[in-house]
Every structure is written in C-alpha cells, then in structure tokens.
Amino acid sequence: MQYQELGDSGVEVSEVGFGAWVVGTDWWGDRSEDDALEMLRYAVEQGITYFDTGDVYGHGRSEELVGEALSEVRDEVTIATKVGYDFYNNPQAGHGELPKEMDPEYLRDAVEQSLDRLGVDSVDVLQLHNADVDEITPDVLELLDELEEEGLIDATGLALGPSIGWLAEGDLAIEEEFDSVQLVWNVLEQEVGNHFLETIEETGSSTSLIPRVPHSSGILNEQVTPDTELGEGDHRGFRPDEWYETGWEKLEQLRFLERDGERTMGQASIAWLLSHDSVATVTPTFRTKGDIDEWAAASDVPKLSAEEMSRVEELYENDFDIDRDDGMDSLRSSVDGADIESAGLDKLAAD
C-alpha cells in the first residue's frame, strides 16, 4: 500500500480507502454488524488507513461501527465523516434524499454529535455532504476555519452528489482550497473528474480529489454481469438497463488494461484513477474480504503507461464507438444543469 497527503493538510491517506457507506446500511446488500466490524478491522490489516463515513449513513450507525472497529488503532488511521443532512428531524424514506441543513450552528452541533458517535476527540477530515454552491457561504467557510483552529478537525472536504451538487460546487471548493473534493469518477464516467483536473491546473490549487464508485456500480469489477440479478434494495439497481448493456460492451474494449494478468480489471480501474496526480485516495465499495484483498493491492500493481492512458482517453472521447443511448443523459445539478452545459458536458455521472 502506498500513502499520500490530502491537499496541504498534513493528513495522510492510503491510496485505497474504505467507503463506509456500506456499514450501518443495507443499500449495498445486507450484512450483519459483526461482519461489518470484521471487514473494517481486516482492511486495516491490509494496509488501508483511510476510512470515509458520514453521519447520515444508517442515521449515525455507520459512524458508531467505524468508531468501535477502529478504536484500538485510532492513531494509525485517518477517519473522515460528512455532515449536512438533517436526519435528526426527518425520517428516511427509502433511498430518497433527506432535507439538507447547512446553517453553521446546525453544522457545529452535527460535528459534535459525530465525534461522540465515533468516540474521538477530533476527526481527521470533515466533509460537507452534497452542499449546493449557494449553501457554501462565508459563514460556513468561517465555521470550518474555526473547527480547525479549535482542533476538532484537521482537514476540510466537500463530498459531491451526482444529482444534488456537482461542477459549480467542486469548482468553488477547489478555488477555496478545500483539502479534498470527493466525486463519482471512473473509466466509464470521466467528464466531471476531467473537469476538476482542469480547474486544479488553472487555479494551482492543492485540493486532492477522492474518487468513489471506481468500478461504475459493478461493471468494471465484473460483479454485475448479464447474469446478475440485483436484490431489492441494492443501490446499484437504480441504473437503467441500457447503462449496463452498453457498459459491458465497453468493458471488453478495456481488457488491455489487465496487461496479460498483471492486473485484474478491478485493480486496473483503481490504478487508472491513481495515475492522475491530483488523486490522493480511491474509495471502492467493499462487500467481502476478497474485495479488500484484491483492491487494496491496486496501489502496488504496475502503474498505467502513457500509452495505456492515451488509449483509454481515445476510447472515451469516441464513446467506445457505441452509437446508442445509455439511459443516463439527463442533466441534473444544483444550478439546473447550466454549469454542466457550459462546461460542454452531455452526461452526468451517478453513483
């Protein structure tokens, strides 16, 4: 496992992190809490030190389990959480979005409650959860500075949702030099990640990018195949059939990334993201110990060559020569798609 600094924060993260949205919820398949605790501890044994949770996951239960699992190795790991959804006063209705609350007073209280659930005095990375661009006000920025000065957080981040906040939000966070911006980004969904790479280059910002959904909801790690039947409640089932059908065709054109067995496709998908200098860590969705074994090793497989990177870019620019709708052309963002349209993008990635 290799390790990198998150922005200029001094906070170290493993290149492969653990997305704890699978802990404390059943949105990615059912598992017992004992299984979740075992997986978290097993990840540490495999060199993973970055753990990314959020207060809304399981309405606080994910944070409690992460805190319990990592209590004995707290000084060896980096814990990130997210705040901004008011689950305290609103019941969860399926997979729907809860009301957000970005008032500084609410956020401070939410941070303190997160610290209690995690069982820690401070959190390494605090992320605003899907904040709209007009919600990231000077007062909110001042609060983040205060929390750092008080030693309650060490780094700041913005976690972006695919249909709730996107380009304008990420650009603002980069311009304000947040330490991290988390986004959906993978070989099959590149537009937004490429846009932020350009923003970082143009501004000279030190912001690190944290891609999630590196396997595009199971296509690139081949856990969703034409024979797969997704169970009721599995979060991957939201994607249209056309997405998977075109994705499987694209997958076959990416087989060269396996390099005659030197990488699995699941590893290559992570290695491709890590080949971008601004990417500090990638957070795949682990479901089993086998996933952890395979994907944690992605930090150490052969890096992609310039030729391989160029070939992926060419395939994507030509939409893999597939002239068929993938079912995900709708534009949604916090500014009604205007930021996406102005950036010349015609699709919106989703998790």
Provide the residue ranges of all domains of the chain, joining segments of one domain with +.
3-343
Q: What gap in Å lies between CA 193 and CA 182, rounded to an integer?
A: 10
Which tokens hold the place of 132? 């709209």
C-beta neighbour count of 306 within 10 angstroms:
8
Which tokens hold the place of 214? 């590196």
Give me the CATH code for the 3-343 domain, please. Answer: 3.20.20.100
The pLDDT assigned to 239 comes to 67
148-166 average pLDDT score = 87
171-192 average pLDDT score = 95
Q: Which is nearest to 347 in space by CA: 333, 330, 334?
A: 330
Q: Which is nearest to 217 in space by CA: 239, 241, 187, 232?
A: 239
Q: What gap in Å lies between CA 144 and CA 102, rounded to an integer?
A: 12
* Higher per-residue pLDDT: 201 or 88: 201
pLDDT at 345 over 70: no
The pLDDT assigned to 342 comes to 64
Q: How many residues does the chain have?
A: 351
Contact indicator for 101, 86 with CB cutoff of 8 Å: yes
- The vertex-119 CA angle with 116 and 121, nearest 5°, equals 80
